[in-house]
Amino acid sequence: VNQDGKRFINELQTRDVVSAAELKQPGKVGYLVFDTATRKSLKAIETYIKKGLVTEGATLDELADKLKINAANLKATMEQYAKFQADKKDAEFGRADMPRPLTEGPWFAVQVTPAVHHTMGGLRINTEAQVLDKKGHVIPGLFAAGEVTGGVHGANRLGGNAMADIVTFGRIAGRNAAEQPTGVIVPRGQKPEDAEKAAV
């Protein structure tokens, strides 16, 4: 919800869409509101509670007061969400997955706002982590991996793939840089002299 106590988006939209919507809200923030049943079902929430990032209220009125948001709207929003969940249809934003009605107090909220945690786009590399120039030719001796490269994500981040991308291409880049400091890579199954001829 926003500071007016209203939902403003399908919460399961892609990160870029949710972030853009949050930036349009008052204060450029949103609040993830959840109930006790949700807290019990997700152990990860306890970490945020220990860090002091979660606001708790015995009632929605108390939670709204602590967050300085509109209590009447928050209560109406939560009632509507519970109805959508019971009807198995989010008539407002089209959210398909609504596993819990969110009706069991005490209530909790976490303030959320967009932050940079991953960058996409950058240097073009090949499968050997060699950096390519604008024409697609290898730049000898230059290797790259991780967020500095174009990566595997495309137009939107593929959740859970950042570490796989970084570790895989980091290992390839490190191995190739160590084995062939001149930038001449020996592809698997090829003789070193053949690779050197191809590089020339």
90 in any annotated domain: yes
| Banded model confidence at residue 200, pLDDT cuts 50, 70, 90 | very low
How many separate domains does the chain show? 2
What distance in Å separates the CA atoms of residue 149 and residue 65, rounded to the nearest whole number?
Answer: 46
DSSP state of 148: G
15 is annotated as an active-site residue = yes
**Tokens 């991780």 label which residue?**
146
The pLDDT tens digits of the residues spanning 138-161 come to 998 899 998 889 877 777 777 777
Rounded Cα–Cα distance for residues 65 and 75 (Å): 12
Residues in the chain: 200
Question: Domain span at residue 33?
Answer: 15-112
Structure tokens at 105: 């107090």
My answer on whether 139 and 108 are in the same domain is: no
CA dist 78 and 1 (Å) reads 10
Q: Is residue 5 part of a domain?
A: no
DSSP, res 5: S
Give 51-96 pLDDT, tens digit per residue: 999 999 999 999 999 999 999 999 999 999 999 999 899 999 999 8
* One domain, residues 98 and 155: no
**Among the options 15, 95, 171, 188, which is catalytic?**
15
Q: What is the pTM of this model?
A: 0.70
DSSP 125: B
33 and 87 part of one domain: yes
Task: Classify residue 3: in a domain, yes or no.
Answer: no
For 103-143, how does the pLDDT look when each residue is reduced to its tens digit (9 = 90+)?
A: 888 999 999 999 887 777 889 999 999 999 999 999 988 99
